[in-house]
Structure 1
Amino acid sequence: MWRFGADGVAAVDDQVAVEAPLEIRVNGRGYAVTMRTPGHDLDLAAGFLVSEGVIGAATDLSTVGTVEDAEGDVVDASVVGPGAMVAMDRQRHVYTTSSCGVCGLASIEAVTTTSRFDVTRDDVEVSARAISAL
C-alpha cells in the first residue's frame, strides 16, 4: 500500500480489512445484499435469515450453499415451510440506509451497475503534505 505523509509517499506493507458485497438468495430469488468481511458466508446468511424472521428453526433451512456460476459472492438458502412466504413478503428491492448504499440492494448485478456520471476523469491533485495536514 502507499503511505502518504508530510515528507511524501512511501510504499509499505500493512494489514488492511477487506469488505465485499454478499448477495443472499432465498429459494433462488434475490433477497438482500449486505457488506461483510469475506469468510463464514454460509453461517452469516443463515444467521441473517434468522434475524429477519425467515427461518425460526434449523428444520426451516433445507440447504444453504454458494452459487458457483454467479458473478460475485452469492449464497442461496433453500427455505421450507412458512419462512418461504416471509422471504417473499420481505424481499428487499429498495434502498436502505447504509454508509455506501450497497446494503439493501437485491443482487450483485445491482452493485456493479455503472453510474451514468463519468467519475473516471478528474484533474484534481492534492499534495501529500495537504493530506497529512488533514
Structure 2
Amino acid sequence: MSVDAELTRPLTLLRLSPDGQASPIERAVAVECPVAIEVDGFGYAVMMMTPERLEDFAIGFLLTERLIDAPRDILAIEPFAAEAGWIVRVTLAEHLRGRMRDRVRHRTSDTSCGLCGLSGLEQIARPVTKRPPAPRVPTATLFAALDDIRAHQPLNARTGAIHAAVACDATGQVLAAAEDVGRHNALDKLVGRLAVEPDRQADFILVTSRISYEMVDKALVAGVGLLIGISAPTSLAIDHARAHGLTLIALARADAMLVAHDPHRLFD
C-alpha cells in the first residue's frame, strides 16, 4: 500500500549578499516528521524522517534490526497519518514474535540510526549471516554512477536537504534509489526495496553521506559487495567492513575516490 504525504513546504527566506543587500527568496523546504514503528502492538521506534515509501522503509528497517529474515516474515504493513506524524503498524509471523519480545524498547532517534537506544553495548554486535560477494565493477563504472546520482535525487533537487542511497549493477545501471532526510533511513528504504525485488541483484551501493558502522551493517544485510560514500568512513565502519569482507570506498569525488578496504584486491 502506498501513502500520500507532503514532502516539501514552501518557505520565504531572506537572501543576504556580500554587499549588504537583502532580498526575499522562495524555497522548497524538505518535510521532516516523526514516523512511529509499531510491531505486533508494541511501540518499537520513532524515526525523524521523510514520510515517503514507508513500506520499503519498514521492511528494510526490520531487516537491519534483525527482527525479520525476509519480507515474507511480515504478515501486514499499515502506514497511516496521525495528528503528530505517521504510524506504521507491522504484524510479524508468529514464529518471530519471540525476537520482538526480546528487543522491545521505546526509542526516539533524531534523523537517526538503528543503534540509538540499545540497552547495552553487547547488542551492537548483531549477527551477519553471510559474507558479501566479491564485487566485479570496473573503476570507470563507479565514477559514472557518481556522476549520475543527481538524476536520482528529485527531492534533493527541490530542497537541497535530502540524502540518497542508490543500488547499481556491475554496468552501473541503477536498480533502485531512495531519498530521505536521514542517511540511515534512505539506506533502509533501499534495503527494503531490494529485498522485495530479489531478482535485482545489486553489485554496489552509493550513498550521499559519511560511512558509519550502521551504514556498513545495512549494506551487509543487503548482500552487496561494495559500499561507496561521498564522505569519510569512521574507524568502526572500516573495522566492520574488514571483519565481514565488504569492499569500502570513501570520499568519492569526480576526480578521485579513496579505497578504505579492498579484500578482493579489485583495485590493485
TM-score w.r.t. the length of structure 2 is: 0.33
* Residue in structure 2 matching 1:72, options 85, 110, 118: 85
* Residue in structure 1 matching 2:76, options 46, 50, 63: 63
Q: Is the 8 A contact 1:26 1:84 kept in 2?
A: no
Equivalent residue of 1:30, what SS? strand
CA distance in 1, matches of 2:111, 2:75: 33
* Residue in structure 1 matching 2:16, options 5, 27, 41: 5
Equivalent residue of 2:106, what SS? coil
CA distance in 2, matches of 1:92, 1:10: 48
Q: Is the 8 A contact 1:21 1:36 kept in 2?
A: yes
Q: Deviations over 1:1-38 (max 9, x none)?
A: 21242536533112322221110000121010112112
Equivalent residue of 1:82, what SS? helix
- 1:49 equivalent to 2:62? Answer yes
CA distance in 1, matches of 2:52, 2:27: 20
Q: Deviations over 1:50-105 (max 9, x none)?
A: 11111112331000012456642000000013322212221232566x578xx958
Q: Tell me whether 76-85 or 66-75 shows the greater mean CA deviation.
A: 66-75
- 1:14 equivalent to 2:27? Answer yes
Supply the AA of the counterpart residue of 2:24: A
Cα 1:80–1:35, aligned 2, differ >3 Å: closer, same or farther? Answer: same
Q: Is the 8 A contact 1:93 1:104 kept in 2?
A: no
- 1:92 equivalent to 2:105? Answer yes
CA distance in 2, matches of 1:40, 1:78: 18
- Aligned-pair identity in percent equals 29
Cα 1:43–1:18, aligned 2, differ >3 Å: closer, same or farther? Answer: same
* Residue in structure 1 matching 2:36, options 23, 28, 36: 23
* Matched residue count: 102
CA distance in 1, matches of 2:111, 2:55: 24
Equivalent residue of 1:14, what SS? strand
Higher relative contact order (CA 8 A, sep 6+): 1
Q: Is the 8 A contact 1:65 1:76 kept in 2?
A: yes
TM-score w.r.t. the length of structure 1 is: 0.61
CA distance in 2, matches of 1:56, 1:37: 25
Q: Tell me whether 77-86 or 42-51 shows the greater mean CA deviation.
A: 77-86
Structure 1 runs not aligned, ≥5 long: 106-134
Structure 2 runs not aligned, ≥5 long: 1-11, 118-268
